[in-house]
């Protein structure tokens, strides 16, 4: 009979020493600590979390596996790279396990970016996400001030960039300039730029018309701080128009897309932010010359018009003579009209006086007297009819009053209840216990007192 190799090796397996879980865990830890005391691992950051203690916890992942990693606070502050979700990096450090756990993880000592390709992929992904949010839309762009009184500049306080901006603004359009010094590359860059944007927007401290954010050229790694999502959002929220001037003309960062104006160089940013004072003065002089020419032309035209008007005007004595002739003509016409009217009226009165005589007046008076006699005869008749109607109405009212007399109602067997103040009691709910009341009958009155809902005689 032939046995399998597993069965034939059973004796050697049983001769291995027996280990406890703790012993095996310590043995694994020792092996990992010794064998992987220094390793480099490439992967994409996932699940990044910065604890309140300052330690960074994250995972490195690729298509096939995930490795937990820790970077202690002291190392986080000296990495030189700001850890970001989705960033491809190369971590240097060691593998270890914690006693009592069957897990291993990497203690990160150093971090380098995973190459330009990885950064470009992360940049494209971030740009797409912010575009979908609408942060780069043209409708959000603010117009630049035409004649700024104060300009803020966020950049490094040292180097050629700030000197070029200050010189160009002073040369073109001198105005107040406030510099907000920041780190323009490295891990501290994003946080300082965000803070500077927010401070510049404090209207109580600064009243800025334009804000320039600038730095010189560099690699994608050098400019990476201006691709930070926090920087983009701070620029989007700025109430002050922002001009971005990051790197050379061929360099683009996410800040350029959200800024209200993108300048290819810091010097160009200064030119975008200011007009040219000499050109403004030249333009004003040109406007003044044009205004003077227009004024002279208008004045000459008015003088000519006055000359023409004066030529058409008549001498005052001639005007007075013409008016006097017109007045005389009108007076003569009025006199003639009055004479005609008086003559017509005289003829009318003459005709009417012939028609009016004593007999006509006598007839008219007789007719009026006859009318008065008829009215006098009818007055007694009309007065009698009126008084008869009035007497009938009084009889009706008297009968209604007699029918409404409550004594007539009492004679029919009804009674009236009042309190001693004379107030009518119309409902049993008005009865107050132990209060005295008066019942009126047709032949007299009786006093009672209230008891619940009833009235009892013989009140105390």
- In this structure, of 6-20, 203-217, 333-347, the range with the lowest mean pLDDT score is 6-20
Q: What mean pLDDT is predicted for residues 359-386?
A: 70
Question: Could you tell me the pLDDT band of residue 334, with boundaries at 50, 70 and 90?
Answer: confident
pLDDT tops 90 at residue 141: yes
How much of the chain exceeds pLDDT 90, in percent?
A: 35
The pLDDT, as a whole number, for residue 313 is 65
Beta bridge partners of 58: 69
Beta bridge partners of 106: 69, 95
Q: What mean pLDDT is predicted for residues 343-369?
A: 68
Q: Which of residues 78 and 455 earns the better pLDDT score?
A: 78
Q: Which of residues 243 and 286 earns the better pLDDT score?
A: 243
The pLDDT, as a whole number, for residue 213 is 97
Q: What mean pLDDT is predicted for residues 180-201?
A: 94
Q: What are phi and psi of 164, to 5 degrees?
A: -65, -40
The pLDDT, as a whole number, for residue 356 is 59
Question: For 268-320, how does the pLDDT look when each residue is reduced to its tens digit (9 = 90+)?
Answer: 999 999 998 777 777 777 778 777 778 778 877 887 777 777 666 666 666 77
Q: What mean pLDDT is predicted for residues 178-196?
A: 94
E strands, 204-279, are 210-215, 242-246, 261-262
The pLDDT, as a whole number, for residue 352 is 65
Q: What mean pLDDT is predicted for residues 233-249?
A: 95
Question: Could you tell me the pLDDT band of residue 55, with boundaries at 50, 70 and 90?
Answer: very high
Q: Please state, in angstroms and rounded to a whole number, the distance separating the CA atoms of residues 448 and 243.
A: 103
pLDDT tops 60 at residue 139: yes
Q: What mean pLDDT is predicted for residues 78-99?
A: 85
Which residue bears the tokens 């790197």? 247
Question: Domain spanning 146-275: which CATH class is it, in words?
Answer: alpha beta
Question: Domain spanning 21-118: which CATH class is it, in words?
Answer: mainly beta
The terminus-to-terminus CA distance of the chain in angstroms comes to 134
pLDDT tops 80 at residue 94: yes
Q: What mean pLDDT is predicted for residues 64-86?
A: 87
The mean pLDDT value of the chain amounts to 83
pLDDT tops 60 at residue 343: yes
How distant, in Å, are the alpha carbons of 31, 212, 223, 243 from that of 256? 51, 11, 12, 8
- In this structure, of 115-124, 160-169, 228-237, the range with the lowest mean pLDDT score is 115-124
Q: What mean pLDDT is predicted for residues 344-368?
A: 67
pLDDT tops 90 at residue 227: yes
- In this structure, of 154-163, 189-198, 405-414, 415-424, the range with the lowest mean pLDDT score is 405-414
Q: What mean pLDDT is predicted for residues 428-453?
A: 80
Positive or negative, the CA dihedral 113, 119, 121, 126 is: positive
pLDDT tops 50 at residue 1: no
Question: Could you tell me the pLDDT band of residue 364, with boundaries at 50, 70 and 90?
Answer: low
Examine domains 21-118 and 146-275 and report if their fold is the same. no
With beta carbons less than 8 A apart as the criterion, state whether 455 and 437 touch.
yes
Annotated domain spans of the chain? 21-118, 146-275, 280-336, 408-450
- In this structure, of 85-99, 129-143, 243-257, the range with the lowest mean pLDDT score is 85-99
Question: For 375-432, how does the pLDDT look when each residue is reduced to its tens digit (9 = 90+)?
Answer: 667 777 777 777 777 777 777 777 776 666 767 777 777 888 888 887 887 777 778 8
Q: Please state, in angstroms and rounded to a whole number, the distance separating the CA atoms of residues 89 and 46.
A: 11
The pLDDT, as a whole number, for residue 7 is 41
The pLDDT, as a whole number, for residue 245 is 95
């Amino acid at each position: 009979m032939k046995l399998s190799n597993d069965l034939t090796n059973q004796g050697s397996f049983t001769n291995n020493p027996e280990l406890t879980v703790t012993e095996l865990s310590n043995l694994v830890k020792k092996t990992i600590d010794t064998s992987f005391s220094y390793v480099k691992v490439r992967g994409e950051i996932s699940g990044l979390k910065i604890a309140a203690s300052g330690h960074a916890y994250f995972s490195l992942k690729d298509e096939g596996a995930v490795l937990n990693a820790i970077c202690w606070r002291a190392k986080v502050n000296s990495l030189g790279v700001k850890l970001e979700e989705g960033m491809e990096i190369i971590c240097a450090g060691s593998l270890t396990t914690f006693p009592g756990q069957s897990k291993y993880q990497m203690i990160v000592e150093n971090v380098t970016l995973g190459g330009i390709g990885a950064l470009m992929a992360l940049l494209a992904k971030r740009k797409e996400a912010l575009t979908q949010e609408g942060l780069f839309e043209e409708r959000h762009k603010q117009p630049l001030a035409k004649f700024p009184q104060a300009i803020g500049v966020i950049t490094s306080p040292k180097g050629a960039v700030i000197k070029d901006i200050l010189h160009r603004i002073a040369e073109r359009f001198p105005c107040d300039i406030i510099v907000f010094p920041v780190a323009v590359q490295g891990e501290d860059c994003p946080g300082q730029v965000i803070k500077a944007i927010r401070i510049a927007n404090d209207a109580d401290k600064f009243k800025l018309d334009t804000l320039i954010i600038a730095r010189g050229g560099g690699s994608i790694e050098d400019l990476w701080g201006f691709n930070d999502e926090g920087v983009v959002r701070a620029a989007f929220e700025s109430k002050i128009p922002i001009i971005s001037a990051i790197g050379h003309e061929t360099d683009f960062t996410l800040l350029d897309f959200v800024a209200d104006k993108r300048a290819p160089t810091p010097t160009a940013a200064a030119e975008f932010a200011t007009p040219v004072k000499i050109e403004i003065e030249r333009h004003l002089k040109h406007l003044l010359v044009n205004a003077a020419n227009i004024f002279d032309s208008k004045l000459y035209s008015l003088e000519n018009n006055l000359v023409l008007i004066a030529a058409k005007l008549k001498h005052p004595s001639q005007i007075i003579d013409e008016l006097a002739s017109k007045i005389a003509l009108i007076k003569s016409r009025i006199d003639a009209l009055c004479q005609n009217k008086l003559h017509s009226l005289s003829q009318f009165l003459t005709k009417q006086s012939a028609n009016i005589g004593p007999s006509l007046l006598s007839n008219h008076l007789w007719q009026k007297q006859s009318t008065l006699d008829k009215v006098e005869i009818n007055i007694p008749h009309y007065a009698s009819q009126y008084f008869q109607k009035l007497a009938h109405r009084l009889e009706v009212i008297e009968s209604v009053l007699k029918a409404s007399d409550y004594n007539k109602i009492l004679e029919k067997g009804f009674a009236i209840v009042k309190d001693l103040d004379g107030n009518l009691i119309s409902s049993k709910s008005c009865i107050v216990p132990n209060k005295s009341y008066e019942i009126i009958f047709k032949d007299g009155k009786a006093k009672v007192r209230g008891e619940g809902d009833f009235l009892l005689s013989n009140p105390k």
